[in-house]
Structures are given as structure tokens and as C-alpha cells.
Amino acid sequence: MRLALASDHAGYELKKAVIEYLQAEGLDFEDFGCGPGESVDYVDYGAEAARRVVNGEFDRAILFCGTGLGMAVVANKFPGIIATACWDEFTATVSRSHNNSNCLTLGGRVLDPEKAVSLVKIWLKEEFEGGRHQRRVDKIHLLEQELHQLK
């Protein structure tokens, strides 16, 4: 699985901790910024990573900002992305098993690094349950088609 990572300044430290974990596990990822000491707009960085998932270069994205919320809003603008802001083990689990999340968003001002790594581990291993959840996710993708045709 190829992972696209991105953060703003408020998510940078959390991203660093997750990168250390991914490297230790030998997982395949690329970081699309920002770098240390920059103050940036999360929109630009989240969009870059989400775009690369939508175009098939990457399988999933993990995005970091202050709360996880801004990155989720941005990524969810991209058809095909299901971005879920998670804050504990339960939300990380069901974001995969029920929502089939392909984009995890985490907040550097609401999570400590150990918790973030624990959520990433869960989100990477948890499988989508399908069944009734598949029907619901299919409806989300139908909405995307409908909304994009309206443009």
C-alpha cells in the first residue's frame, strides 16, 4: 500500500512521529510537505496528497493539521476520497470497517504522538466490512456523481 502524507505547521510534529513509525515498519509513503518551521495553509497540502490518491498514484492518504478537521474538509472535496478525522481507537476502527476511509486525518493539537501512531496502526490494518456498509458507501459515491454533473 502506497501512502501519501501531508501536513500544515500545526500537524507537522504528529506527521514526524507517524513517519518514524512508517519507516520503522518499512511501509511505503511519500511526504508532500510542509517542512519544518513553515507556516502554511492546510488546504494546499491536503489537496496535493488527496489529488494523488484520486489519480491512482497512491492508495491512501494520511493528513495532519491542528484538529484533523480542515484536512478532512479539503480531502472530502475530491471525488473518490472518504476522509475521516479520527481521535480515538473506536473512530479509527469504524472509519475503516464502516466508512471504508481511504484518507485518515489527525490533529496535532488534539492528539499526542503515541495516540496518533496507535490510530494509524489500526486504520492501516482494519478491513472494510462491506455488506450494509457497502450500500451506504455506494450511495456516497452516487452523490459525488450527481453533484459533479450539476457543475
* 8 part of the interface to ligand RB5, by CB under 6 A: yes
Judged by DSSP in three states, 144 sits in helix
34 is catalytic: no
| CA angle in degrees (0–180, nearest 5) for 118-71-32 | 80
Q: Which is nearer to ligand RB5, 27 or 40 (CB)?
A: 40
Residues of this chain, 59-78, that bind ligand RB5 according to CB under 6 A:
65-67, 69-70
Residue nearest to ligand RB5 (CB): 70
Q: How many residues bind ligand RB5 (CB under 6 A)?
A: 8
Q: In whole angstroms, what is the distance from residue 136 CA to residue 99 CA? A: 8
Rounded to 5 degrees, φ, ψ at 61 are -125, 150
Helix (H) or strand (E) holding 4: strand 2-7
Identify the residue among 10, 22, 50, 104 touching ligand RB5 (CB under 6 A).
10
Amino acid at 29: F
Point out which residues pair with 62 in neighbouring strands: 5, 104
* 49 part of the interface to ligand RB5, by CB under 6 A: no
CB 4 within 8 A of CB 51: no
Question: Shortest approach of ligand RB5 to residue 146 CB, angstroms?
Answer: 27
- Out of 34, 65, 86, 103, which one is annotated catalytic? 65
- Out of 98, 103, 133, 148, which one is annotated catalytic? 98
Positions marked catalytic? 65, 98
**Which residues are near ligand RB5 by CB under 6 A?**
8, 10, 42, 65-67, 69-70
